[in-house]
A and B are shown apart, each in its own frame.
Chain A
Amino acid sequence: MIQFQSVTKRFGGIIALEDVTFSIAAGECHGLVGENGAGKSTLGKILAGNLRPDHGRVVLASGARVGMVHQELAFCPDLSVAENLCLGSLPRRGRYRVDWAAVRRCSEELLSQIGVTLDVWRPMRTLTTGQEQLVQIAAAVGTGANILVLDEPTSSLSEAEAHRLFALLERLRAQGVTLVYVSHRLPEVLRLCDRITVLRDGRYVATLDRAEATTDRLVQLMIGRSLAEYFPGHLDTPPGPVRLRVENLRSPGRFEGVSFAVRAGEIVGLAGLVGAGRSEVAQAIFGLDPHASGRVEVDGQPVRLGSVRAALRAGIGLVPEDRKRQGLVLPLSCRLNFSLAILDRLRRRGWLDQRAERAVATRLFEQLAVKTPSLETPVAALSGGNQQKVVLARWLARELKVLIVDEPTRGVDVGAKAAIHALLDELAGRGLAILLISSELPELLNLATRILVMREGRLVGELGREEATQERLLEWMAGVEVSAGRG
């Protein structure tokens, strides 16, 4: 069905794909896995025709039509679902007038083909990410695509939405649609795919049948070495005095009555479903919420709320949830992104001391093993994991007392993830108070000293390391069967 013949793609000096050759059979669900920056998304885009290979080619069986479901969703947000679905060829009455009845019929038909019902007159903007994805799939399948490329389709879906998506993909496969599933979420890939191809550093590594594939084996192929399970070292020393104290923090409409404390040397996890108010609490502590009230103390000293500068002076750092939107200035170089939070310290009689800036950047990039061609490379050219390391390096350049990390390993490959975990552990060992927000429960269970749980804007409980399990956390997060506790 699909043959990749020594496909090579470069972006400037960076080799995204090199000499990739393998084939995908008709009707199978083929997983494409690899670390971030391994080239799997690039390969998907080449298959969908969004990018052209520099060398080599993609041979498709006759009659093959490729549709793509992106991470970045491609619709006009203010038009309705119906208009978006028919945008390529709006049905007309006469020469100029739109035939709205036909628009409705045609869009409903497209949706019903994949078993979805939606109010087609809703503006695209009001749809959830999951619903948008369904519309994308309907658009692709409806126009006759028999190959569907899905690039990280579950990255912003809720659990339930993801399950619905999987069911739909199973149905499509039964109808004979060939699926190419690009993801770094191995459990999903193992569950859905018949065969799995592993890429590493732009090169083809192996294709495994589902029967012979295990998480361990895939991880090993993806990173080229085996990964020992990680035991945090900060647990060896008992936590010190309270560094961060939050008392009765509230922000109208976001969260209410949040009180907790983090001691020096502790990593406190903050669990909760999307929308529970975790990031909002983090941003309020960091002074980004002008409506927040309550009390935040660092080492016993109160911190003025609503002022990032006050938070910075108090020694608080925040690695935000959305790296590209909140963390990085994408057009600027790694060095400039790195130094954003220490600019005031690089001032030398009016000058910006760029020599010192380079020296600090070089030292910290080495320490964090940031993989970049140079300090002057635009940060947008780096892989997700390395981008996150740049954000972390930014905070390591200040003397921090409290570090809040919000989803620090989202969209980050396995190797960088382990490095970031080790770094957080080391920072805690150095006496920082760390607040770790994560939607990945194994990350919390593995790393945190204890875990706080938020639900609907309130803190509903706290679990020690020994008593915390995925099941209990999920129960508390979702608010079912709340067992004994503060909730």
Chain B
Amino acid sequence: MQRSARVAGRFQEAGLLLVVVLLGAFLAWASEPIHVGGRTVNNFLRLDNLIPNVATTMSWMAILAIGVTMVIVAGGIDISVGSIFGLAALGTAAVLQHFPEDAPAWWVVPVGVVVPLAIGLTCGLINGVLVTGLRVHPFIITLGTLSVFRGIALVSVPMKSVPAGDRTLPAAFTEQFISWQIYVEREGAMPLLLQPVPMIIMAVVLIAAWFFLGHTVAGRQIYAVGGNEEAARFAGLPVARIKVRVYALSGLLAGVAGMVSTGYFGSANTATGEGYELMVIAAAVVGGASLAGGRGTALGAVLGALVIKLIENGIFILRKLDLGFVTLSLSKEYSKIIIGTAIILAVTVDRLSERWRR
């Protein structure tokens, strides 16, 4: 009795997994073999492509997508996440640049964690309070705050990029924490460079969000409010509080993503995260979140981010695509066209499969 629904739930993400596998198979087939250290390897299907170029760099996008998914499940939308992400990243860099480069970890890491999270949470709370207090459509509110938060980032630092030229962020936050590197020796190949911390943070956020959405009262309330706000009110749920909570969480996760980005790159600039909102919403939607509310999962958001990152990576790897009847030469400039098309395609397939299942 309960099994059927669990299978159905699993099926939805299984469909996404299938998309990931098919996409990967296609990229492996289409990419040219390259020669590294006397060995021939598939240019796509090699760990020193997949780990640094896909898994690590998708981390912050996936974290953002999880936050936005929560808002979408609650029937709202948050398009300001890119700006919150940028503001948190910049704020972190601006604060940490005043620390000596060799400042001890117990001093740097708490600051480097608290600052972006506080910025994100504050921005998210502002969004939530405005949406519930003014009763204006969240698209409009977060369109406004998208501009405001970006503007704050622009006016609050005198230079475009932080830290300024002659300084670097404390190593305790970057090389010894978020961009911590390990080399894995491999037989007959170049050592593999691993920077695992962003992926670990992404995994922790995923597990926490999965637990929160699926296994707590507060998570359940989000689905109810998104599915039918009025019925939720008639059942006695604190609708306004629930909505403020999801925007706050989305902001908080944008802060986490900002922290990861700053620690990974060792810097941030006033354009960090510009245009991210579209990628992130796309990831959430590809991951199965319904803009009508009431539907979406954390795992879906991460898989959605993975799909988008794979497409980006594929364009970077392939350069030239020989389809037999036509040869396309791809450049980075094509990525927007291809990603946009992929989004529409993915959501169409999802809707069709849902109709087919009924």
Could you list which residues of chain A lie within 8 angstroms of chain B, going by C-beta atoms? 11-12, 286, 288, 308-309, 311-312, 318, 320, 325-333, 336, 339-341, 343-344, 346-347, 350-352, 354, 358, 374-376, 394
Contact = CB atoms under 8 A, between A and B. Distances in A.
Contact of B227 (A11, A330, A346): A330
13 contacts: A320-B234, A326-B234, A327-B231, A327-B234, A329-B231, A329-B232, A340-B237, A343-B220, A346-B217, A352-B220, A374-B4, A376-B2, A394-B235
A341 B238 CA distance: 11
B237 to A, nearest CB: 7
Contacts of A351: 215-216
Nearest to B225: A329
A142 B303 CA distance: 53
B224 A341 contact: no
B230 A326 contact: yes
Contacts of A328: 228, 231
Contacts of A12: 357-358
Given A332-B294, A343-B221, 6 more contacts: A11-B358, A308-B233, A332-B224, A374-B5, A376-B6, A394-B235
A388 to B, nearest CB: 13
Contacts of B236: 308-309, 311-312, 341
Interface string B202-224: 00000000000001110111011
B295 interface: yes
**Main SS of the interface on chain B?**
helix
Contact of A288 (B4, B227, B234, B238): B234
Nearest to A377: B5
B235 A336 contact: no
Contacts of A11: 358
B352 interface: no
B1 interface: yes
A352 B2 contact: no
A325 B224 contact: no
Interface in B300-321: none
Contacts of B233: 288, 308
Contacts of B227: 329-332
Contacts of A288: 233-234
Contacts of B238: 309
Contacts of B219: 352
A318 B223 CA distance: 21
Contacts of A354: 215
A370 to B, nearest CB: 13
Contacts of A331: 227-228, 290, 292, 294-295
A325 B221 contact: no
A352 B217 CA distance: 5
Contacts of B290: 331
B289 to A, nearest CB: 12
Nearest to B2: A376
Interface string B1-38: 11011101000000000000000000000000000000
Contacts of B217: 343-344, 346-347, 352
Contacts of B224: 329, 332, 336, 340
Contacts of B2: 358, 374-376
A26 B1 CA distance: 47
A294 to B, nearest CB: 21
A326 B224 CA distance: 12
A374 B1 contact: yes
A375 B231 contact: no
A203 B228 CA distance: 33
B171 to A, nearest CB: 37
A378 to B, nearest CB: 9
A318 B234 CA distance: 8
A75 B318 CA distance: 50
Query: What 6 pairs between A and B have smallest CB-CB spacing?
Result: A376-B5, A329-B227, A340-B235, A329-B228, A308-B236, A331-B294
Residue among B223, B232, B235, B295 with most chain A CB within 10 A: B235
Nearest to A287: B236
B4 to A, nearest CB: 6
A9 to B, nearest CB: 12
Given A332-B224, A341-B236, A352-B217, A376 B1 contact: yes
